[in-house]
Structure 1
Amino acid sequence: MRYPAAVLLMLIALVPVVPAHAVVAEGIYYLQGVTSGLHLAQTGNSVVLHRPEGDLDHQQWWVRGERIENTDSPGSCLNRSLTITPCTTDGTAWEFVAAGDQWDIPGLATGGETRWYLTPISSPRLPMPADPTLDQVTFLTAHNAFANGVDGDFAAPILNIARNQTRGITRQLADGVRGFMIDIHETPQGAMLCHGGCDWVPHPVALRTDLQRIVDFLAAHPSEIVTVFLQDGVSAPVLGAELARVQGLQSVLFRPDQAGVRENGWPTLSAMRASGRRLLLFTDRYPPDGRDSYGVMYQREWTVENYWSMGGPIGSADWACYTRWDERPLTATGTFQPLFVMNHFRDIPFPITIYNDNGKIARRAEQFCQPAARKKPSYLAVDMYELSKASAAVATLNTYTYRP
């Protein structure tokens, strides 16, 4: 029986499309769970999911043909029972089925992960475009920018010595800091900058004071772009009243929710400069309770961020680069690329330790955090940014774009 052409086309459309077996380019990769962002790591003769830790934790895998060999155990491969055996034994051949930038590897399922990123340990880099988009550049960021002991008190007198920064906001701006992490607390005087609360703080600085410094700087420097991250301990009405007292604020606020970022991605720097809207304000407060009506965006909708501390003030650092928010892995993406806030500091600031840590920030960014997030840091957040090589790391990151 002959079928009409229209019927044949309908029957063809009903036949499921079977993804083709793909060949993975030979190389060394991180096998990264799509849901959690955790890395597959060898532990003894078995494998588990661990926090991304670069080359320190048996997390690098050499994919050659159909075999997955751990770089720390030459000649030993992952087999179908999810154990490590000689690569010559049965069960060490795998299929790789491409699914966009992700991979289905039938039989490789552990810790709830069934789909994987194969992230090269050394990703190809492209030259920085002449007019990059916001997510392609990196900004030097001051952790606890207000806790500097120059602009005013930020803690009770005995705690005021634990400064995260040693220079005031105006000097930070002049030195090239373009990201500011600020804690705000509610007092009868409004939103004040205090660490852990404003009780016993003799002379705290008001949020409006530092924001006015930033807005005035932007007015005097029309090519600059600044971001403020609020660790937000005030009510929405108090925040709104505080922002209303900052002259010129609304004319420079950039609102990604109104600028089409969800649909079109981040704008170019030239577009932001042309619009005059060059200040981003983020809050960590949930629920945001209408803060967006003031132009303050809920941070988790627009960024990803790694865990905030590398450990105590002295001793070795934890260089693992993993999400601060369990529900949002560093690899999160979608219709736009979230900005990546990379924290690189300890629990308590200690100058000698900070000097040492800041000297290693480029290595951690490029060899640990970029692969963990599958994106370049947008903000490098440090204590005492002037110590060692934080600015140099930012300059290096701004010579290329990163794409896995």
Structure 2
Amino acid sequence: MRRTPHALLAATAALAAAVVAPSPPAGAAAAAPASAAYYLQSATTGLNAADIQGAVEQRRPKGDEDRQQWNLRPSGSSYVLESTDATGTCLGRSGDRARTVACASADAAWDITATGADDRYTLKVPGTDRHLTLAPKPPGANYPAQLAIGAPGALASWYLTPVTPATGPMPPEDRRTLDQVTFLTAHNAYANGVDGGFAPPFVNLVPNQSRGITQQLADGVRGFMLDIHQTPDGAILCHNSCTLVGRPVALWVDLQRIVDFLKTRPDQFVTVFLEDYVDPGVLRAELARVNGLDDVLYRPDRTGVRENGWPRLADLIAADDRLLIFTDHSRSADQSAGLTRDTFGVMYQREWTVENHWSMGPGIGSSDWSCYSRWYDANTNIPLTRTEPGFRPLFVMNHFRDVPITATVRTDNAKLADRARRFCLPAARKKPNFLAVDHYDLGDTGSAVNALNSHTYP
């Protein structure tokens, strides 16, 4: 795997670099972007067009690997997209399939037109009504990898995402909206071996964190990922199951720690993510045990966020709306049970966030830095690039492996800013709002958070 050495100053400078390129030629397809290096991303899946030995397929976004970067430049009254990995080779077509071809070939030319919807484009074969598109999705499967040449429509909608994006300065603290801010987030924050047991004895030997919730708060952690399971005692924090777990911690205990912290720090905002295996009635009863929860609970569903975007963080703090709780549970399952979690203030994560796949691989050995949606499979399609009119979901960036081996975590966390910049930010077309890591105290994760909080990504 090719990786550039992690250097915070270099990463920050690259993030701040603006794309400067010549304007498109007179007579070219209207509103095409400037000449530069781009990722060509499906607006349907969020996956990138990649040159795979001559075939052009949609693949998981992978930065400067996997032949996914294309230099856009004018060619007569049209455009070509030349591979950055193979000079003279361009994205083109052969029959009804996308292929790489010689850039001088007529089959490499495209009319590129903005659709007027959220920075999306179409790529059309000149003089025809044939477009670069996804093949239709077979029942019970993902969209095929091979890109096609076919009819216009939703599947023929693409983002041209700059490899080196233009960025802006971070607004003053009293002007920053919630979606402009990045928070350090502890993956499996409860699995720390300090506050209590979290797994059967053998698994208990490999905690995801080495400090308790109270210390995590003191150290600047502002996002907490918690797994909850149902027992006769209520919602308990355990990994996979609570069977054989000694001294498990109840959810309300850790939430009380967070609420108590917020009471002493009225300038702070915290988000909780629940990996949620309990009935909604059990969760409601658990939350009712937390003293002062209603005083700080933030309800974006009641404040017009879907229509108007995320509010300023300073306004949330002034209103004492400072604790946001998400569940990964299904709304449809709760509707079948007759009680939805948002009626008592727990938001459905898939409605308010996007999130990349949760694992970079096993605890040792090589890792997979590709950044693609956690919610992309045969039954669910929520691309990292998802946006809605007036609303951009918050982006949860997972950066951890299956097993938190300390030496590996230290190395991975040292590369957190680099992965965010080169892989995940362009994959989502937005800045990560939550950097979720194991052992947040290793690898200088705070510097990665500070680097992202130094700029905006429009």
Give the TM bin, normalised by the shorter chain. over 0.9
CA offsets, 1:69-93, max 9 Å, x none?
0000011112242322222222222
Report the 3-state secondary structure (helix = DSSP H, G, I; strand = E; otherwise coil) of the residue aligned with 2:235.
Answer: strand
Q: Aligned partners of 1:45, 1:290: CA distance in 2, in Å?
A: 49
Aligned residue pairs total: 385
Tell me the TM-score normalized by structure 2: 0.82
1:28 is matched with 37
- Percent of residue pairs identical: 57
Q: Secondary structure at the match of 2:300?
A: coil
Q: What is the deviation of 1:294?
A: 1.4
Structure 1 segments (4+ residues) deviating >4 Å? none
> In the TM superposition, what are the counterparts of 1:377-396 in structure 2 within 5 Å?
377-396=432-451
Give the Cα separation in 1 of the matches to 2:386 and 2:210: 34
Q: CA deviation at 1:20?
A: 6.0
Task: For 1:365-376, list aligned pairs within 5 A.
Answer: 365-376=420-431
CA contact (8 A) 1:30 1:121 kept: yes
Judged with a 3 Å threshold, the aligned counterparts in structure 2 of structure 1 residues 171 and 86 are, in CA distance, closer, same or farther, namely same
Aligned-pair distance for 1:94? 1.0
1:109 to 121, 133, 142: 133
Q: Say whether residues 1:96 and 2:109 are aligned partners.
A: no
- Please tell me whether the aligned partners of residues 93 and 100 of structure 2 are also in contact (alpha carbons under 8 angstroms): no
CA contact (8 A) 2:195 2:213 kept: yes
The CA RMSD over aligned residues, in Å, is: 1.2
Mapped to 2, the partners of 1:265 and 1:236 lie a distance apart of 28
Say whether residues 1:292 and 2:342 are aligned partners. yes
Q: How does 1:14-53 map to 2 (within 5 A)?
A: 21-53=30-62
Give the Cα separation in 1 of the matches to 2:384 and 2:444. Answer: 24
Deviation (angstroms), 1:22? 3.0
CA offsets, 1:318-348, max 9 Å, x none?
0010000011000001031100000000001
Quick one: structure 1 residues 217 and 21, their matched pair in 2 at CA, closer, same or farther if it must change by over 3 Å? same
Partner of 2:152: none
Pairs within 5 Å for 1:257-336: 257-286=301-330, 287-288=333-334, 289-326=339-376, 327-334=381-388, 335-336=390-391
Report SS of the residue matched to 1:273.
helix
Q: List per-residue Cα deviations over 1:289-332 (Å, max 9, x = no partner).
A: 32112110111000000000000000011001000001100000
CA contact 2:410–2:443 (8 Å) conserved in 1: yes
- Pick from 238, 242, 245 the counterpart of residue 286 of structure 2: 242
For each residue in 1:122-147, what CA deviation from the matched residue of structure 2 results, as whole angstroms up to 9, or x when unmatched?
11110011121000010000000000
Equivalence for 1:9:
none
The 5 Å alignment of 1:50-65 reads 50-65=59-74
Distance 1:52 1:139 in 2: 23
| Aligned-partner Cα distance in 2 for 1:291–1:89 | 57
Q: Deviations over 1:133-180 (max 9, x none)?
A: 000010000000000000001111222111000000000000000000
Contact 1:49 1:111 in 2 (8 A): no
Runs of at least 5 residues in structure 2 that lack an aligned partner in the other structure: 1-27, 125-130, 137-154
Q: Distance in 2 between matches of 1:157 and 1:23?
A: 59
TM (norm. structure 1) is 0.93
The alignment partner of 1:79 has SS state of: strand
Counterpart amino acid of residue 424 in structure 2 = C
Greater C-alpha radius of gyration: 1
Q: Give distance in 2, aligned partners of 1:322 and 1:264.
A: 27
The code of the aligned residue for 1:60 comes to: Q
* CA distance in 2 between partners of 1:320 and 1:74 (Å): 24
Q: Distance in 1 between matches of 2:273 and 2:106?
A: 53
Q: Is the 8 A contact 2:299 2:324 kept in 1?
A: yes
Question: Is the alpha carbon distance of 1:20 and 1:78 closer, same or farther for their aligned partners in structure 2, counting shifts above 3 Å?
Answer: closer
Q: Given that residues 359 and 398 in structure 2 are in contact (C-alpha distance below 8 angstroms), is that contact kept between their aligned partners in structure 1?
A: yes
What's the offset of the Cα at 1:257?
A: 0.2
> Do the aligned residues in 2 keep the contact of 1:308 with 1:324 (CA within 8 Å)?
yes
Find the aligned partners of 1:154 and 1:126 in 2 and give their Cα distance: 42
Q: 1:245 to 1:359 in 2, by over 3 A?
A: same
* Aligned twin of 1:13: none
**2:12 corresponds to:** none
Q: Retained in 1: the 8 A contact 2:162–2:426?
A: yes
Deviation at 1:46, TM superposition (A): 2.0
Q: Is the 8 A contact 1:135 1:378 kept in 2?
A: yes
Is 1:120 the equivalent of 2:162? Answer: yes
CA drift at 1:26: 0.3
The answer on 1:361 being equivalent to 2:416 is yes
Deviations 1:252-287 (A, max 9, x none): 000110011011111101110110010000011113
Separation in structure 2 between the aligned mates of residue 92 and residue 328 of structure 1, nearest angstrom: 31
Equivalent residues of 2:101, 2:107 under 8 A apart: no
Contact 1:305–1:330 (Cα < 8 Å) also in 2: yes
Structure 2 contact 273–327 (Cα < 8 Å) conserved: yes
